[in-house]
Amino acid sequence: MNLTVLPDLLAIGGLVAVFVLLLRRTHQTRLRFWAVGWIFVLIHFFAELRPAGAGAITQAGDAVAIAALLSSSVAFLWAGGSMPTSRARETLAGILGAVPDIVFCVVIACGVSWIPLYATLTMVGGAAALPLYCRRRREYESRRYARAGFIVVAYGLQLALVMTDQLNVALIWLLCWHFLAAAIAFRAGATKRSIGVVFTTLSFVAWALVFPVAMMLSMWLPNIHVESGVWNLPKYLVATGLLVTLLEEQMFKFEHAALHDALTNIPNRRMLLGALDKAAARAAKGHPFVLMILDLDLFKEINDRLGHLLGDRLLQMVASRLRGIVRQNDTLARIGGDEFAILLPDIDEHPAARVVIDKIEKALRQPFEIDNTEYHIGASIGYALSPADGIDTAALYALADQRMYEAKQAGRKIPRAI
């Protein structure tokens, strides 16, 4: 037996345990595919325990090892979000789509040299992959075309190698492009370009390059011996990158929760104050802004009479309506129970501020429909201009708040609450 793979077997076994435990806690589809991918890598190393030689057991071990390695790349590719949304459909379609490539690997490992068989498997594999990986929803057409082009080139080159009787090179290319595709899918599926995402993507690329580099070294520099641990290093780099990516995502979630209101998912007071400090620093250099404080009128009456659940839904609808008014570079925040604030850069005149206030008042006077019942509220709004009213953030906030209460006391004409 090849006992040199025992350390890798133990290490990958530990990784499988880690990803399975994480899956039990989070139940993410992506984690499920990652766990399946590492299980296939574990099977790959189990198959590598085969004895050296040219017997049937060794040949079977080679077939299982190669097929398991290819299957792991397919699982990592699925984790990038290239599958249909239905779990039953994704499982069936994924299995059927991967079968031609897996059979391709197995028959090569078994020493079969019938070219028509490999050509047929290549064409069937390409025909299955095109609809499988190129029909993602909510995606730009250009990305679909790019993915389709990648599939066509990958299988086209594989077919060319098969037709020129370069079966081993075709196998190397098959493994290489699958892991390249996993790298592309992982990067495309990531919401942010974080350190973990970049590191994992490059590690998948390194894993893909292991196959052609090893082949070229054996062909051109046969006297150079590279330890198996070097070839296996990209696997552990990918595992490290995946775990770092999960950790970063948790950190992003905590940061988002610290700076956003849990109910409306808009910035909270803390984020507003940070944006206000930056705006004041820019105002000192001649870049004006307006800070508006908005308090809902008649909201408390609805909240007290009909309950907090309905009041929460109403606040969410108010936040959504305000998001439709503010610009992309404005800051909309919920700073209290029914108080909101809006920070608008590049406004330095009262008439321009009044235009925005009129839009907000008009929008909030429109009825809010909840469970087939219309509710009417309004808003009292105060604002402060900077640098016209100063650049001290505390003074500006206090001035806008004071003017908001003055507007509320003035008693705007607001329809009945219910």
User: 53 pLDDT exceeds 80?
Assistant: no
Task: Tell me what the pLDDT averaged over the chain comes to.
Answer: 89
User: 226 pLDDT exceeds 90?
Assistant: no
Closest CA to 9 of 44, 35, 33, 34: 44
Q: Is pLDDT larger for residue 192 or for residue 123?
A: 123
pLDDT tens column, 346-402: 988 889 999 999 999 999 999 999 999 999 999 999 999 999 999 999 999 999 999
pLDDT grade for 192, boundaries at 50, 70 and 90: confident
pLDDT grade for 416, boundaries at 50, 70 and 90: very low
User: 92 pLDDT exceeds 50?
Assistant: yes
Closest CA to 72 of 102, 52, 103, 51: 102
Q: Which helix (H) or strand (E) holds 369?
A: strand 368-370
Distance between CA atoms of 104 and 122, rounded to whole angstroms? 8
Q: What pLDDT is recorded for position 96?
A: 72
Phi, psi of 369 (to 5 degrees): -100, 120
Closest CA to 122 of 93, 153, 143: 153
Distance between CA atoms of 49 and 108, rounded to whole angstroms? 20
Distance between CA atoms of 25 and 35, rounded to whole angstroms? 13
Angle between helices 115-133 and 167-189 (to 10 degrees): 10
Q: Read off the pLDDT of each residue in 85-96 and give the average, rounded to a whole number.
A: 60
List beta partners, residue 380.
295
**384 — alpha (psi -120 to 50), left (phi > 0) or beta?**
beta
pLDDT tens column, 325-351: 999 999 999 999 999 999 999 988 889
| DSSP letter string, 169-229 | HHHHHHHHHHHHHHHHHHHHH-SS--HHHHHHHHHHHHHHHHHHHHHHHHHH-TT----HH
Structure tokens that stand for 228 in this block: 């198996």
Cis amide leading into 345 (omega within 30): no
pLDDT tens column, 255-284: 999 999 999 999 999 999 999 999 999 998
List beta partners, residue 267.
260
pLDDT tens column, 6-29: 889 999 999 999 999 999 888 788
Amino acid present at 221: L
Whole-prediction pTM value? Answer: 0.83
pLDDT tens column, 139-180: 566 777 888 899 999 999 999 999 999 999 999 999 999 999
Structure tokens that stand for 163 in this block: 């037709």
User: 85 pLDDT exceeds 50?
Assistant: no
Please report, in angstroms and rounded to a whole number, the separation of the first and last CA atoms in the chain. 80
Closest CA to 132 of 80, 180, 174: 80
Q: Is pLDDT larger for residue 416 or for residue 25?
A: 25
Strand-by-strand arrangement of the 331-334 sheet:
331-334, 339-345, 289-297, 378-386
Q: What pLDDT is recorded for position 265?
A: 95
Q: Which residues contact 146 (CB under 8 A, 6 or more apart)?
A: none
What SS3 state is found at 300?
helix
Neighbours of 387 (CB within 10 A): 17
Q: Are 270 and 258 in contact (CB under 8 A)?
A: yes
Q: Read off the pLDDT of each residue in 282-305 and give the average, rounded to a whole number.
A: 92
User: 103 pLDDT exceeds 90?
Assistant: yes
